[in-house]
Amino acid sequence: MNSKALRRRQRLQEWRRKEFPDFDPWHFNTTVEKAAPEGGDALEIGAGSGVGLQTQMPLKSRVNRYAGVDIDPRVMDNPHLHEAHVADAVALPFEDNSFDLVFHTMVAEHLADPAASVRESLRVLKPGGLLMFHTVSFWSYASLIAAATPHWFHQFFVRHLGMGRIEEDVFPTHYRINTASAIRRIAHGLGVDADVENIPVPPAYLAFSYPTWLLGVAFGRTFENWFPWLRAQIVCRIHKPDAPTAAVTNVEDRVAA
């Protein structure tokens, strides 16, 4: 991390402690850890390299098998996994009913075919298993701006105003499963139910100056409170039925319809 990015990150942490003293930036990590059964089997989609500012899940000592997949070959060097595979979320290299928990964080917005990804996650889940994912909401101002700007601008922003991410960790976005209605529509097409929660977070994307940061704080405490769907992030939980259903085992035609 270069010195400018480090200073920006330290400044954000200082502002965040002042305005959001109870905020836990690792809430989803803790939620995943609690959801993973001891001695069970867990799969992370989009596990990444596991170094730098990439998410690091504390599962290796808790579960029997912590597997990770990513289209980025750097996943093969991820030190937090028991096993790693270069693979796409729509074609997982595992047998049916292999995992108790499948999860991903900040991956859903990059999925070109989210229905196929959810279907594939359900396939490798054991009956009664849990799919969890953490993503950005399409209706947040940061996502709306990102959706309206080209990929090179995202890389430019990270390079000049970011807080330690590298350009190699900036991937194209699609936002096809980033609203509660889109998630529930896809889940319904697969014959399962989705629990969707809109999560408020500090306005990190506006922390490049104190006035913009304060505007983000004010927006969060007014409009995001009035309209929760404007909140920046989403956490989704989908349980695979204990007994197989026709919808889960043969869903391609239903999703296409």
Instruction: Output the 3-class SS for the chain.
Output: CCHHHHHHHHHHHHHHHHHCCCCCCCHHHHHHHHHCCCCCEEEEECCCCCCCCCCCCCCCCCCCEEEEEECCHHHHHCCCCCEEEECCCCCCCCCCCCEEEEEEECCHHHCCCHHHHHHHHHHHEEEEEEEEEEEECCCCHHHHHHHHCCHHHHHHHHHHHCCCCCHHHCCCCCCCCCCHHHHHHHHHHCCCCEEEEEECCCCHHHCCCHHHHHHHHHHHHCHHHHCHHHCCEEEEEEECCCCCCHHHHCCHHHHHC
In the chain, the amino acid numbered 98 is S
Our CA angle for 206, 173, 227, nearest 5°, is 55
Distance CA 121, CA 45 (A): 9
Predicted TM-score (pTM) of the model is: 0.85
Residue 249 has what pLDDT? 52
CB 29 within 8 A of CB 227: no
**Which of 67, 111, 66 lies closest to 89 in space, CA to CA?**
111
* Domain span holding position 129: 3-256
Instruction: Please provide the size of the chain in residues.
Output: 257
Q: What tokens does 227 get?
A: 């309209």
The total of structural domains in the chain comes to 1
What is the CATH classification number for the domain harbouring 228? 3.40.50.150
Residue 251 has what pLDDT? 46
CB 123 within 8 A of CB 243: no
**Which of 32, 94, 35 lies closest to 69 in space, CA to CA?**
94
Residue 42 has what pLDDT? 97
Question: Which residue numbers in the chain have pLDDT < 70?
Answer: 1-2, 4-5, 52-55, 150-171, 243-257
Residue 160 has what pLDDT? 46
What is the phi-psi region of residue 196: left when phi exceeds 0, alpha when psi lies from -120 to 50, beta otherwise? beta
